[in-house]
Amino acid sequence: MSRVSEESGTAAKETTTERIPAALRREQILAAASRVFGERGYSGATTDQVAQAAGISQPYVVRMFGTKENLFLEVVARALDKLITTFRVVLAEPQPAGDDDADSLVARLGAAYVDLIEDRGILLSLMQAFITGHDPVIGAKAREGFLQIYRMLRDEAGFPPEIIRDFLANGMLFNTLLAIRLPDIFEDDEAAEELMRCAFRGKLDVVLDATGSHASHAMSAPTGTAGTHS
Amino acid sequence: MSRVSEESGTAAKETTTERIPAALRREQILAAASRVFGERGYSGATTDQVAQAAGISQPYVVRMFGTKENLFLEVVARALDKLITTFRVVLAEPQPAGDDDADSLVARLGAAYVDLIEDRGILLSLMQAFITGHDPVIGAKAREGFLQIYRMLRDEAGFPPEIIRDFLANGMLFNTLLAIRLPDIFEDDEAAEELMRCAFRGKLDVVLDATGSHASHAMSAPTGTAGTHS
DNA sequence: GTCTATAGCATGATAGAC
DNA sequence: GTCTATCATGCTATAGAC
C-alpha cells in the first residue's frame, strides 16, 4: 500500500495554497494539531509537523496561535469540550424503557466515549495533556480538566465515587490501549486480541474501523455490550 | 570548578567529581533518568537534565548509554522488570487463610502496585513509554511490555480476561492520577480529595507520603468512607 | 572514569514581502 | 491570508584531554 499525495479527510497533507478565511484555516490547523499532538505529545510534536499536516507553512501556524503552547492548550480545551458535550447529550437522552438504572447509563456513556475514537485526536490529546502534568501551565489545565469530568459524572450524572472511579479507570485503559496502538497488532498476537475483545466489548469493530486496522472484522453483538463490567 | 551545595538522597543534583566504578555510576544515571523521563517523557526530557540529576556531565550520560533512546529503553526495561518481579513475589506468597479467592489476590497485587509508588519513576516511566507508542522502537517495546503484563496475570495468576481488564484499568487510572499530580492538590479541591480517597483506597497515606505531599494525613480507615467495592 | 569544548542539526519564533 | 528567509536557542552526540 503506497500512500500517494492526496489527502482524504482524516489524515494527510494538503497541497493547495488557496486563500482561505482565517476562521476556517484556524479549524484546519486545530484539527491537524489534534492528530499530531495526540500522536507525539506536546514535546514530541513540532509546529512544522502540524503545519505540514494542515498543508500550510510552519510560520503561519505560529502566527495563528502565537506559540506552540497556546496551540496545544486550545487543542486540549476543544477536546475536553467535545467530551463534556458528548456526555451531556447522553445524559439528556431519555432512559431506554427496559432497565434505567445507573448501570445502563454508565454503559451508554462508555459507548459514547468509545465512539469518540472516530476522531482519535480527541482522546489522545487529552491523554497527552494528562501525561504532561509536570508542566506548570499545561499541568494546571490537565488537572482542572480531569476534575471537571469527575464533577460532571458526580453532579450531573449522579454517580457515586466508586462508579466514577471504575468508569474513569476504563477510560484511561482505553486511552492507553489506543496509545500503544494495540489495534495495530490485532490478530498478530493472541494476547492482544483477547485483551482488546474484552476491553472494547461490543465496540471492537468500531475501534478497528476508526484506527484503520484492516476494517472487516464484523462480529459485533448487535446492541453492543459496551457496559462497565458484569 | 567550584560547585557548591549538597544533594540529598532521592532527588537532587550531585556535586562531587569523584571517580566511581562504572557499574555504580550506571545505576545512578538510570535512577536519575527514571525520575526525569517519568516526569517529562521521552521527548520532553533532555540528556542534560538527566546528567544534572545524576550529578555528572551531559556527555558522560551519552557516553554511557550511546544514545538517549537507549537510555530510555533501559529505564523502561528496568521498570517493567521491577513490576513483573513485584507481582511474582505476591503470587508466590501463601494465600492468607481467610478468603483465598481471586478477589483477595487482586487486592494484594493492587496493593503491591500502589507501593511501587515509592519510586515514582517506575510507574511514570512505564506510562510515558505507553504514551510514546507511535515511535517505531519505543512503541514496539511498550506494546510488548504491556502484553507481557497481561499474559502474566492470565497465565501465572490465572485471572480471566474481565478481571485482568479491571485490574489494568485501575492501574492506568492510578498512573494518570500520579501524572497529573493529583496528590499535589489534595485538600485544595474537594473533588480531588474525594477521587483520591476512592481511587487509592486504604493507601492514600502511602501515596501522599511518597509524593511528598504534606505527609501527615493518616486516616487509612480500613473500610471507611473510601469504600472498597464489593 | 569524567570533563571541556564544540560540531551540527532541529526547532520555535520573528520580519517582512506579496 | 500566506509565504520565504532567517535568527537564536537548545540539544544530541563526538573528539579528545586529563
Kindly indicate the confidence band of residue B10, based on its pLDDT and cuts at 50, 70 and 90.
Answer: very low
Partnered with residue A186 across adjacent β-strands are: A189
Q: Give the per-residue pLDDT at A101.
A: 80
**Would you say the C-beta of A62 is within 7 Å of strand C?**
yes
C-alpha cell at position B208: 501522599
- CA A79 to C1' C10 (Å) is 29
Domain boundaries, chain A: 22-210
Q: Please report, rounded to whole angstroms, the spatial distance between the CA atom of protein residue A49 and the C1' atom of nucleotide C4.
A: 35
Rounded CA separation A110/A90 (Å): 10
Adjacent-strand bridge partners of A189? A186
Mark residues 53-92 of chain A whose C-beta is closer than 7 A to nucleic acid strand D.
55-60, 63
CB B157 within 8 A of CB B105: yes
* Total CB pairs under 8 A between chain A and B: 140
pLDDT at residue B127 above 50? yes
Neighbours of A15 (CB within 10 A): 9
Nucleotide nearest to A56 (CA to C1'): D2
pLDDT digits (tens, 9 = 90+) for A131-175: 999 999 999 999 999 999 999 999 999 999 999 999 999 999 999
Q: How far is the CA of A1 from the C1' of D1 (A)?
A: 36
Distance from C-alpha of B53 to C-alpha of B32, rounded to nearest angstrom: 6
What pLDDT is stored for residue B6 in this prediction? 42
For the cut 80, the answer to whether the pLDDT of residue A120 exceeds it is yes
Predicted confidence at residue B18, as pLDDT, reads 85
Through-space separation of residue A38 CA and nucleotide D9 C1' in angstroms: 26
Q: What is the dihedral of CA B35, B41, B43, B48, to 10 degrees?
A: -10
Return the sign of the alpha-carbon dihedral for residues A227, A198, B126, A79. negative
Q: Which residue has the cell 535512577?
A: B31
pLDDT digits (tens, 9 = 90+) for A186-229: 889 999 999 999 999 889 999 999 998 876 655 555 554 444 44
SS3 string of chain B?
A: CCCCCCCCCCCCCCCCCCCCCHHHHHHHHHHHHHHHHHHHHHHHCCHHHHHHHHCCCHHHHHHHHCCHHHHHHHHHHHHHHHHHHHHHHHHHCCCCCCCCCHHHHHHHHHHHHHHHHHHHHHHHHHHHHHHCCCCHHHHHHHHHHHHHHHHHHHHHCCCCHHHHHHHHHHHHHHHHHHHCCHHHHECCEHHHHHHHHHHCHHHHHHHHHHCCCCCCCCCCCCCCCCCCCC
- Which residues, numbered 82 to 101 in chain A, qualify as contacts with chain B under a Cβ-Cβ cut-off of 8 Å? none
CB A110 within 8 A of CB A167: yes
Which of B's residues 39-78 have CB atoms within 7 A of nucleic strand C? 55-60, 63
pLDDT band for B214, please (50, 70, 90 cuts).
Answer: confident
Distance to chain A for B4, nearest Cα, Å: 27
- Per residue in A8-46, pLDDT tens? 444 555 556 789 999 999 999 999 999 999 999 999 999
B189 forms bridges with which residues in the sheet? B186
**Paired strand residues for B186:** B189
Please compute the mean of the pLDDT values over residues B158-183 and round it to a whole number.
98
Average of per-residue pLDDT across B51-70 = 98
Q: What's the full length of chain B, in residues?
A: 230
B218 confidence band (pLDDT: 50, 70, 90): low
Chain A contact set for B132 (CB, 8 A): 41, 44
Please determine, for residue B3, whether its predicted confidence score (pLDDT) is greater than 50. no
Q: Provide, in whole angstroms, the distance separating residue B15's CA from nucleotide C2's C1'.
A: 13
Residues 6+ apart with CB under 8 A from B55: B7, B13, B14, B15, B16, B28
Cell of B32: 536519575
A interface mutation test: which of B46, B176, B186 has the most A CBs within 10 A?
Answer: B176
Mean pLDDT of B157-172: 98
Contact A180 B133 (CB under 8 A): yes
Nucleotide lying nearest to B17, CA to C1' measure? C2
Partner-chain contact A139 B172, CB within 8 Å? no
Residue A230 pLDDT grade (very low, low, confident, very high; cuts 50, 70, 90): very low
Cα–Cα distance for residue pair B53/A115, rounded to 1 Å: 43
**Which residues neighbour A13 within 8 Å (Cβ) at sequence distance 6 or greater?**
A7, A52, A53, A55
Please, which residues have CB within 8 angstroms of residue A121's CB and are 6 or more apart in sequence?
A: A31, A34, A35, A37, A38, A75, A79
Which CATH code for domain A22-210? 1.10.357.10
**Residue in this structure with the C-alpha cell 485538600, named with its chain if needed:** B187
Grid cell at residue A115: 465512539
Say if the Cβ atoms of A43 and B43 lie within 8 Å: yes
Residue A110's Cβ-side half-sphere holds a number of Cα atoms within 13 Å equal to 29
Asked if residue A64 keeps its beta carbon closer than 7 A to nucleic acid strand C, the reply is no
Interface test with B, best of A168, A197, A201, A225 (most B CBs within 10 A): A168
State the smallest CA–CA distance between residue B91 and chain A in angstroms. 20
Q: Which of residues 183-222 of B touch strand D (CB under 7 A)?
A: none
Comparing B14 with B168, the larger pLDDT belongs to B168
Distance B47 CA to D12 C1' (A): 8
Judged by CB atoms closer than 8 Å, whether chains meet at A131 and B191 is answered as no
SS (H, E, C) B68-100: HHHHHHHHHHHHHHHHHHHHHHHHHCCCCCCCC
Single-letter residue type at A33:
A
Burial environment of residue A86 by CB neighbours within 10 A (0 to 12, 13 to 18, 19 or more): middle
Query: Is the CB of A44 within 7 Å of strand D?
Result: no
